[in-house]
Amino acid sequence: ASYPVLNTPVVTLTWSGLPVVTLTWSGLPVVTLTWSELPVVTLTWSELPVVTLTWSELPVVTLTWSELPVVTLTWSGLPVVTLTWSGLPVVTLTWSELPVVTLTWSELPVVTLTWSGLPVVTLTWSELPVVTLTWSELPVVTLTWSGLPHSPSATTLTWSGLPVATLTWSELPVLPVVTLTWSELPVVTLTWSGLPVVTLTWSGLPVVTLTWSELPVVTLTWSELPVVTLTWSELPVVALTWSELPVVALTWSELPVVALTWSCLAQHSPGLSYLLLPVVTLTWSGLPVVTLTWSELPVVTLTWSGLPVVTLTWSELPVVTLTWSELPVVTLTWSGLP
């Protein structure tokens, strides 16, 4: 099916054997949806499309943005797809399996992912994506990464060999603030178990909200100098929330200041070699504020065991902020970087 390129999008639906969906807009945003079991769909339009992905018993996703991002969605299962839009292109996909979603773009899209029974995510960001994660009724938080030396911390920081850090704290009434920053391409992985409700928000365009009652897996990746800020205090841009899992409150009114630094480390990746200058600084006043900084390939991966796996990639300097009260147990892990 095709439509004239006026205020209406041009949509192309094609499939063969396995369902593969590709969404592309003239200007910037190109979205590709691929899954095994149904057809391949390609949507193209030159306006600011509003896309809504919905599937029964599993995630209902809604993508909306005013710029032209490049998005790639991939998952396996038997999705039922419904495409509809008015004014701006609105697309709705519905299916009853566990999809794997991958989002990639080089501009500043406004994306909203929502689905029932599974995670509902809203991503919003502008020139430099700023992400805030906030949730209530959450477990503990654990930060781990490789490529750094070992160094204990009063805030339960532990790592072996290269930078393997673990932050864990329970029973905290206030809202801790954590900030992660790096100038190259680090790889970060967030993993937790339970029924989290996640909301990612970037100031500017893209807004994404992930919500689910199972254990989804999310992967964020970008290839520029992303600046990531994890903050959970009173101003959450992104919220992670899930029920039915260890309820842990992160809060403290004291102001412990922790600074972690370590020398350059030779890091080798498949066909890649570079020095790692990871610097980690943990500081907080009133509310715990943590800042992690390192230089090298920053790659962020969010993983939930159970359901969908999401990968976000962008080439700008994203700033991520995590904010929450009543926090859960979060695990950050990344390799091939400090």
Region 310-331: what's the mean pLDDT? Answer: 33
pLDDT in tens, 2-50: 323 333 333 333 323 323 333 333 333 334 433 332 333 333 323 233 3
**Exposure string over 123-135, b if 16+ CB within 10 A, otherwise e:** bbbbbbbbbbbbb
Q: What three-state secondary structure class fits 53? A: strand
Angstrom distance (rounded) from CA 313 to CA 219: 9
d(CA 208, CA 222): 16
**And the tokens for 20?**
């593969």
Residue 141 banded pLDDT, cuts 50, 70, 90: very low
Per residue in 194-247, pLDDT (tens digit) is 223 333 333 332 333 333 322 233 333 333 223 333 332 222 222 222 222 222
Q: Specify the pTM.
A: 0.13
pLDDT of residue 303: 35
- Taking the CA atoms of residue 76, residue 322, residue 254 and residue 279 in that order, the dihedral angle to the nearest 10 degrees is 90
C-alpha dist (Å) from residue 60 to 102, 191, 284? 15, 21, 37
pLDDT the model gives residue 335: 36
pLDDT at 190 (0 to 100): 34
**Contact criterion met (CB below 8 Å) for 226 and 318:** yes
Each residue of 70-128: pLDDT tens digit?
Answer: 333 333 332 333 333 222 233 333 333 223 333 333 322 333 333 333 333 333 332 22
The tokens for 132 are: 């805030």
